[in-house]
Structure 1
Amino acid sequence: MKKGVLQTILSLLLVTVLLITVIFPVNVFAAQIGQFNVNFQMDGSTLKVTLIPTVSSAEAYNIWYTNVENPTQLSQAVAGYPIGSKNSQGNYVIDIPNVQLGPNGLIYLFLSTNIGDTGWVAFNVFGGGSHPGTGPDQDVHGNIGQFKASLKLNNTTLTVTLIPDVPGAEAYNIWYTNVENPTHLSQAVAGYLIGSKNSQGNYVIDIPDVQLGPNGLIHLFLSTNAGDTGWVAFNVYGGSDPGDPGTEPGPQPGPGGDVVYVGSGGYTLVPYGTQDYGGEIRERSYELQWLPVGANRRSTENFTGPVPTNDWGTTLIWGTMWGGYDQKYSEPLYAIPTIFKAHAGGVNICYPPRMVINNGNEILKHYEEAYVDISVGGVGFSAVDARVDKVTDWSYDFVLNNASKTQSIKATILHGNPFGSFYFNNVTPYITLPRGLPAWIVSGDANSNVLLIKTMDNADEDYNFYGIFAPQGTTWTIDGNQGSITGLRANMPPGRNYISIAPLPYNVSFGQTEDMTVLNSMLNTFRKYAYNFVTDTRISYSYNENTRTITTTFNITTDNKPESTASGTIIALFPHHYRNETVHNYLGYSYHNTIRGELKLIAGTSFTTTEKFYGVLPVMPNWNFTEAEKAQMRAYLDELINTDSFINPSNPSAGLTVALDTYWTGKELNRLVNALTVAEQIGYAHAANILYNTIKGELENWFTPTDSNGNFKNDKFFYYNSDVGSLIGYPSGFGSDTQLNDHHFHYGYFINAAAQIALRDPAWAQQWGGMVEMLINDIACNDRNSTMFPFLRAMDPYEGHSWASGHAQFGDGNNQESSSEAMHAWAGIIMWGEATGNRNIRELGIYLYSTEKSAIHEYWYDQYNEVFDPVFNHEAVGMVWGGKYSFATWWSPNPIEMYGINFLPTTGGSFYLAEFKNKISRVYNATYAEGEATNYGGTGNSTIWKDIMVKYLALSDPSRARSEWRADLAPEAGESKAFTYYWINSFDKNGTLDTSTYATNSPLSVVLVKNGMKTYVVYNPSNTAKEIVFNNGVRIQAAPGTVTVAR
């Protein structure tokens, strides 16, 4: 096993030294002090101490040690050391040279930490027993994972006691072998379920008729909630040498790599698998050509965490890709309202003009070199690349270094903030007005630290205005004359090396004269905040179940320079912010006609939004279906089971009959899940059994990384890439591996399917839930301190929606097409949280769902008629980009697909679309009218996705949907005739979403209304009946484990 692979594995399992302890017990020992686990390793006369935080907020500042027994004062220390910064694994490592140990390896440590001093704590460096300094304790034989292991032999029965080392440690299964150097789990002599902890909080397992190896050698292997331990060697007879230690400890090796087990499932640590649509076997060397790893990762030593893919700024960190495409700097960065682009000379800035192309189907306010207003660089400065230095929730710091790293420019940019903030290291700033077009200084002069610049934008023949804010005492060397200024050299005072620049929310058309009173007032307002450089951005959210609202607070931290005259910064609120924000202390200025509509300005360090959550349903209501209707649904279910070649009715537990990629597997799972709910609701047990077991079997296939012999599979498994910080399913699809595209689309289907199984079988969720939550964390990890995944990978907290491209290497920025598949993922997270009783996951899902639906209403559907350009003659967009919106898809110009991609799959998570019922009928009508106008009304083209279209229509007009559905047409890939029929008729009988009424204690609930009659629908995931209270005073008793419908 390669050392680098081993280190990666052990860091993932968080048991690096615990495992090594067993193999080298004389050199390493682990214990705890304060909020840290402690590892010791002797290297000659140097003692290496590693402090591993047990909570994410733990910090340590100084360490002292002594060999004095029972010390009482800090003055008894032999020596003390400052601790310094954490390493890339988030641990502190301290070397104590020429260490002086006490008897039998005794040492005492003392820490100063962020929660106070620890006092003296005793340890045995040589790995002794229950009391430091007393030598080995024969009952405790070593450590395995997060447990101490005690082994006692009674005749032929070996009793293994697992004593948790950390709170929350859980173990599920144990295997043992007497094989020397085991490498596969299949080499186990036997395995056992571990069961529950005893009254002391320990696990006790009896292994009957145990077969020991030479000299009492035995290897144990655990599956735990922290992952798989791998084979770990012990000596049952208690010696310091466990026998032949075998290979290096770690996760179970397989062909060419390793596996980490998570409950009953697991994932691989090697990139084997088929490419998109099949193809060659993936190899590490091939992966290095595409992903942001190694030399392709553009980050400084300050930023070592998981790569923030699928973000508006990912282009900064993602180097070579696309089979050789090398972006050393960046594609345009759509901070909005300002656009930036890194290049060899520095950073370009523009506030772009509006452009209309493709017959009005695309509206752009994007970056082009011809639109650059200002370029920030330095005299003689040339950068070799741009590298990410820091990432917060919606800000990026990046650094441009020269070849020798003796000169650099550091920039901070963020969403919703007009300023670009720059630091110059050994660089004399030079600001270029690059287009050779008219430019003036309209306020300030060569001796002013604040300048107001006027530049001509010849694309739309108007003038843009920029404020340039340098330190007090700065003078300028001006190249060119008024009307033709080409550059500004900043001569800054010693010790002040910063400048900020922002476009002002003001422009005039060619031939008009600017209003200097307005401009100077604006400039003075911007000046107050221009010197407050943003250092952190952070969201927090909370769910109020009683009001069914999610409240999100956006917080900004600044470093205020001496020139600052006010706290906070200027914040540009997007429409989905101010539409849901109640404190309107606006500055009176707005950026009009941006790609996101009007941006209203406030000043401060935070703002708060509140969005309504109307609920999701795992099962649609069954109310008064006639026997004839039920018979029709049974016929449709039989047709599905007998004609879907992916289903094997004779062996459903085997899962699907073929290995589809992650997206098409997800689509098929969605088809079967929704058909399952129909079968259960109409009492068709035969179909329900086949569908349920096929879904469960397929999920288990994907969550199991090896075959029955312990060897890797070539398909249906997940691979974790620790260099990037992403879980990749194979077979992959649509660039989900090489470009990390669309993970939330693909994995949302898996999460939803798993939630449906968990609602029916909580024990299954306990066994396999670890892998489901790996998928959730891959797309939306809400732990900023995670070393495995970036924070909220897919979701852009400020834009309010997710992004689909993993790399964002496009001139128009990142993009997202299928907003509805994103919503499907968030609905699945809500249902998984409810099914498993995990309030943190449930609240995460509600935040994602409620936030994105607000952005969808604004930027995909323009519900308030304030975002789309008047020439954009469509009811919705197909794609939202950083710098444009377009009526398009990646694959088809058919209006049915361009509209339909943003409401499939239609499920119990689609009720957000019904919040504006009038929009639904307009979109439906426009779909077919535009199809005829663009020659897409012909046979085949006008009838595709008919089930998707009528299911969407049923959210507002189920009677019309029922009349327009054609059962003779083939269903869309993720749909079934049974569910379409059930869906339309359910709405037709019960009505459509009532936004005035909601349950105050159940997120899995909606209220429907028809002709004034309200239907209350609740899914109760618990195993006991629950009273559900609605805001209008209605109370109903919800039966356990099913959907309850009441009127």
Structure 2
Amino acid sequence: MSGTPDDSDHGHDDESNADTDRVDLSRRGYLAGVSTLGAAGIAGCAGASEATATGAPATTTATAEATTAAAGDPTVSVGAGSYTTRLPSGEEAPPEQVYATSDLLAPFPTNEWWSNLLRSQYGAPMWAHPLVAEPTGAGLDLSYPTEWTFSTVAGDTNRNNVAEMDDTTDLTLSTTGADFADARCAGYGDWHVDVHWGAGDTTTPTLDATVTQGSPFVFAEVTGADAELSFAATPDVWADQGNVLGVTVNGHHYGLFAPAGATWSGVGSATLTSALAGDGYLAVAVLPEATTTALSRYESYAYNPITGTTVSWTYDETAATVETTHAFDTAPRGESSTTGTIAALYPHQYKHTAATLDGDTFVSPRGTMETTTGASFTTTLDLPPTLPYLPATESADQSRLAGYVDDAEAESPLVRSGPEQPGDGTYWTGKNYERLLQLRPIAEQVGDATAADAFDAALRDDLETWLDATVSGDSTSEDVFYYDGTWGTLIGYNDSFGSGPELNDHHFHYGYFVKGAAEVARTDPTWADDANWGGMVELLIRDYASPDRDDPLFPFLRNFSPYAGHSWAAGNPDFDLGNNQESSSEAVNAYAAILQYGAFTGDTRLRDLGAYLLAHETAAVEEYWYDVDEENHPADWDYSYAAMVWGAGYKYDTWWTDDVEAIHGINVLPVGGHSLYLGRDRAAAQATYDELVAANGGDTFGYWPDVLWSYRAFSDPADAVSLFETKPESYAVEFGESRAHTYRWLTALSDLGAVDASVTADAPLAAAFDDGTTRTYVAYNAGDAETTVTFSDGTSLSVPANDLATTTASSGSGGGDGDTERAPTVESVSTATRTTGPWTNVTVDWSVADADGDLASVTVELRDAAGATLESATTSVAGGSASGTTELRTKATPETVAVTVADGATNETTTTTTL
């Protein structure tokens, strides 16, 4: 969750190429082309930014065409759905004023490290790392934080809950005679911002500065005055080369770079000025050390101001990796002696790049940053193991699980809401969807088609209510999406936790909606056609993660910060500590939702967008929330896990409670097949769980026991099952959970074992597990035809269309682990069924193969809805391939056919096909 003053009571009761143009992520023609939205709709949504008066911040005013549309019918149709351009009655919209220069138009970025600049007169500290920049009436305060401070929050006075870096100002970049009425955003890229002072003043000079995340430089331009640098104390000037100075203040070293021919006056005082030789530009850089060698090195790049920052990505499905390039555009000045720039890389970047690191390091709240030089650098991250749901396994009591499904089905209404419980608003509605979308496949697995249909119907009916503004009408604020043209955003009302006026948490909330839509599309992809509900679903995706910088309605990747590698939650980050994100797991859920939606609808462009976001968010979560390598959090802090990551540091706390269970659980929920990244490092999961138990005073949980048991299953699934069994019928079920899902999750991981991240697959929805003796491979095929998924250890798995399949092999038997004996594969299975009197006869045609030429046997089983074997037959085979036909009959009702092939080394592979 994000933080604003309104968030303090977060519901604890339950709680191949460069930029996106080259990535070629289509917008489905922006709702199947501009014609779908209509000219009036676009005018009503996009708007044009104009200054309301001289000196006033920019606001967005609708065109005459849009005004006419709003005065008549504010409803914009999108396929079968719609949204409104009129604010629902009684609701609060985001502010009308945007602190941007008049040439900037909506949509505006709202959840970045710098976007506080857009919300108020001067904004707030912008934690760019390694620098912190804060606009003021005098200019730009700069600091290089290197020291940690620790404090407590209410409820835990004995431990240092808060770790933040001290950003005491080192110097102020300004002009002589400066007294600016405001500071405004004058431009931005994917991770830089241009700040302008003086646009509304008639008697003062102007100042422009570019601040870039990861850059040690601030580039500035001055008109109508001399440049002025005011220091916190008289700086030590240890190098004076005329236009270039090396100075130290507060123990931090800086290089000051004026144009050739310029000089600095005031040396020996706390204020330095320069006429800048009439050229009006300068650069300030934090230096790694106070040496002329460092000063000379940074001088080489000080005259290459950064003018653009662009991220691009490619998802390699075969290798299961995401390759991401961060590129810097620069505009060299006459003094420039090289190309490119110096960039300081975060741990999640330099640990995964082949770029040459220069040896310079900087301190930051995210840990040590290491520098590289050039115009770009590239990282390669693994796509984390991801499944839409876990497979059915043997240890679950099927009748018990079916009973839990029946209990959930009996709830009325299935989508819970109302004044007596937290069910209203976009957040709680989304958690309803999460519960239903997890229940539906479990109902399918236990053979309860009636319950599965009920969960599906409740899910799609409520989604369709929200995705159609005509259902609620314009007179109510309930269950409707409103487009705000001032900022460029889609807001669901009732809103939750500042998602309306503050624009907080859109990825958290809408991610649940998209995931619910993905579950509907899993078996009914036509529901997600543009002519049906797909257009509205994609509007939600575009609102929190639009992949197109030219999107007329939404900013590029609203919630995701490309250089930081993770999301920010606050849409109004007006905090001294910068922006923040609490529930990193809900951010992961939002991006897994995009990946699944793209897979289930056959939109590989959306799938690849989800893969990019998912790979980075999970890598950042491991580095900065869980600090799995124990390198990034401050050594003197009392914790090894952070519930909240801030620009300035970390908090072991939540926005609404100091309960230890919530502090840990908020970065676990919602639990599902997207959560497997939390088990990629089993030792780290164990360490974090131990920290939870120690802080909680034991492993008896009462706040969110199901969520914490589910996390425990990553490090010790047997213990997790044991904890569940202490009170399986009496614990309080978390709002987005169900007893059926928790039981399925715990028993499945108990059978499957640990997540084996060393094995990847050439499909986006796949995972491997290892219990110490057996490795289990799982994959979901979202396509309409049977396919073969190949894992990185050489194992192949035949997966029927629109289905989940598993296979097993002895641990270490895969080709990637040094054992040359690979698991055999089931190449194909086809069935024919006929009924004769009381008998059901099933004919099974199969083909199998073994790369080592060591086939031994094929076993065919008929299984009932609970997975029990009704009839079976085994055929001996030999060599490298074989095919055959097996005929079985039963008086019971078979639901599935399982074909198991074994080799001479007892490796086995099983494929299950639904009859």
TM-score by length of 2: 0.78
Q: Which residue of 1 aligns with 2:407?
A: 639
Between Structure 1 and Structure 2, how many residues are aligned? 749
Q: 1:1019-1046: CA deviations, max 9, x gaps? A: 1112221122222222222111121122
Q: 1:947 aligns with which of 706, 715, 720?
A: 706
What SS does structure 2 have at the residue aligned with 1:616?
Answer: coil
Q: Shift of the alpha carbon at 1:611?
A: 0.2
Pairing 1:500–2:283 present: yes
What SS does structure 1 have at the residue aligned with 2:373?
Answer: strand
Q: Which residue of 1 aligns with 2:575?
A: 810
Q: Which residue of 1 aligns with 2:652?
A: 887
Q: Which amino acid aligns with 2:287?
A: L
> Would you say the 8 A contact 2:70–2:85 is kept in 1?
no
> Would you say the 8 A contact 1:477–1:491 is kept in 2?
no
Q: Which residue of 2 aligns with 1:987?
A: 749
Q: 1:541-583: CA deviations, max 9, x gaps? A: 0011111000000000101111111111111011000111123
CA–CA distance in structure 2, aligned partners of residues 554 and 915 of structure 1: 26
Q: Shift of the alpha carbon at 1:998?
A: 2.3
Q: Which amino acid aligns with 1:959?
A: A
Q: Which amino acid aligns with 1:442?
A: W
Q: Shift of the alpha carbon at 1:924?
A: 1.5
Q: 2:74 aligns with which of 258, 261, 265?
A: 258
What SS does structure 2 have at the residue aligned with 1:964?
Answer: helix
Q: Which residue of 2 aligns with 1:789?
A: 554
CA–CA distance in structure 2, aligned partners of residues 638 and 601 of structure 1: 57
Q: 2:497 aligns with which of 730, 734, 746?
A: 734
Q: Which residue of 2 aligns with 1:1011?
A: 772
What SS does structure 1 have at the residue aligned with 2:360?
Answer: strand
Q: Shift of the alpha carbon at 1:798?
A: 0.4
Q: 2:328 aligns with which of 552, 556, 572?
A: 556
Q: 1:712-769: CA deviations, max 9, x gaps? A: 5431111111221101001100000010000000011111110000011011111101
What SS does structure 2 have at the residue aligned with 1:532?
Answer: coil
Q: Shift of the alpha carbon at 1:928?
A: 2.1
Q: Which residue of 1 aligns with 2:862?
A: none
Q: Which residue of 1 aligns with 2:230?
A: 432
Q: Which amino acid aligns with 1:536?
A: G
What SS does structure 2 have at the residue aligned with 1:857?
Answer: helix
CA–CA distance in structure 2, aligned partners of residues 489 and 587 of structure 1: 32
Q: Which residue of 1 aligns with 2:172?
A: 375
Q: Shift of the alpha carbon at 1:695?
A: 0.4
Q: Which residue of 2 aligns with 1:271?
A: 87
> Would you say the 8 A contact 2:423–2:432 is kept in 1?
no
Q: 1:23-61: CA deviations, max 9, x gaps? A: xxxxxxxxxxxxxxxxxxxxxxxxxxxxxxxx989xxxx
Q: Shift of the alpha carbon at 1:646?
A: 4.7
CA–CA distance in structure 2, aligned partners of residues 1007 and 252 of structure 1: 57
Change beyond 3 A, Cα 1:256–1:524 = same
Q: Unpaired runs of 5+ in structure 1? A: 1-54, 58-165, 173-222, 231-247, 274-280, 320-327, 458-462, 507-515
| Correspondence list, 1:412-427, <5 A | 412-427=210-225
Q: Which amino acid aligns with 2:286?
A: P
Q: Shift of the alpha carbon at 1:167?
A: 12
Change beyond 3 A, Cα 1:840–1:366 = farther
> Would you say the 8 A contact 1:548–1:612 is kept in 2?
yes
The higher radius of gyration belongs to: 1
CA–CA distance in structure 1, aligned partners of residues 632 and 421 of structure 2: 46
Q: Which residue of 1 aligns with 2:151?
A: 357
Q: Shift of the alpha carbon at 1:893?
A: 1.1
Q: Which residue of 1 aligns with 2:812?
A: none
Q: 1:572 aligns with which of 319, 344, 353?
A: 344
> Would you say the 8 A contact 2:643–2:666 is kept in 1?
yes
| Correspondence list, 1:528-539, <5 A | 528-539=300-311
Q: 1:623-671: CA deviations, max 9, x gaps? A: 3356xx11111221222233455549xxx9x9x9997100000111111
Pairing 1:465–2:253 present: yes
Pairing 1:302–2:94 present: no
Q: Which amino acid aligns with 1:311?
A: E
| Correspondence list, 1:923-934, <5 A | 923-932=688-697
Change beyond 3 A, Cα 1:718–1:1027 = same
Q: Unpaired runs of 5+ in structure 2? A: 1-19, 42-63, 153-158, 809-915
Pairing 1:673–2:468 present: no
CA–CA distance in structure 2, aligned partners of residues 400 and 725 of structure 1: 24
Q: Shift of the alpha carbon at 1:523?
A: 0.8
Q: 1:159-212: CA deviations, max 9, x gaps? A: xxxxxxx9979989xxxxxxxxxxxxxxxxxxxxxxxxxxxxxxxxxxxxxxxx
> Would you say the 8 A contact 2:31–2:535 is kept in 1?
no
Q: Shift of the alpha carbon at 1:788?
A: 0.7
Q: Which residue of 1 aligns with 2:275?
A: 491
Q: Shift of the alpha carbon at 1:464?
A: 1.4
CA–CA distance in structure 1, aligned partners of residues 39 and 330 of structure 2: 43
CA–CA distance in structure 2, aligned partners of residues 167 and 820 of structure 1: 28
Give the percent of matched residue pairs that are identical in Structure 1 and Structure 2. Answer: 34
Q: Which residue of 2 aligns with 1:388?
A: 185
What SS does structure 2 have at the residue aligned with 1:600?
Answer: strand
CA–CA distance in structure 2, aligned partners of residues 885 and 389 of structure 1: 30
| Correspondence list, 1:534-933, <5 A | 534-583=306-355, 585-592=356-363, 594-624=364-394, 629-643=397-411, 645-647=413-415, 660-707=424-471, 712-766=475-529, 767-932=532-697
Q: Shift of the alpha carbon at 1:335?
A: 0.8
CA–CA distance in structure 2, aligned partners of residues 253 and 888 of structure 1: 46
Q: Which amino acid aligns with 1:309?
A: T
Q: Which residue of 1 aligns with 2:873?
A: none
> Would you say the 8 A contact 2:179–2:204 is kept in 1?
no
> Would you say the 8 A contact 2:630–2:640 is kept in 1?
no
What SS does structure 1 have at the residue aligned with 2:74?
Answer: strand
Kindly report the root-mean-square deviation, in angstroms, between the aligned alpha carbons of the 2 structures.
2.6
CA–CA distance in structure 1, aligned partners of residues 690 and 440 of structure 2: 31
> Would you say the 8 A contact 1:228–1:262 is kept in 2?
no
Which stretch has the larger CA shift, 631-640 or 523-532?
631-640
Q: Which amino acid aligns with 1:426?
A: G
Change beyond 3 A, Cα 1:490–1:390 = same
Q: Shift of the alpha carbon at 1:587?
A: 2.1
CA–CA distance in structure 1, aligned partners of residues 130 and 488 of structure 2: 30
CA–CA distance in structure 2, aligned partners of residues 922 and 644 of structure 1: 40
CA–CA distance in structure 2, aligned partners of residues 554 and 607 of structure 1: 6
> Would you say the 8 A contact 1:659–1:731 is kept in 2?
no
CA–CA distance in structure 1, aligned partners of residues 509 and 161 of structure 2: 28
What SS does structure 1 have at the residue aligned with 2:265?
Answer: strand
Q: Shift of the alpha carbon at 1:912?
A: 1.0
Q: 1:806-835: CA deviations, max 9, x gaps? A: 011101100000000000000000000001
Pairing 1:334–2:127 present: yes
> Would you say the 8 A contact 1:306–1:790 is kept in 2?
yes
TM-score by length of 1: 0.69
Q: Which residue of 1 aligns with 2:787?
A: 1026
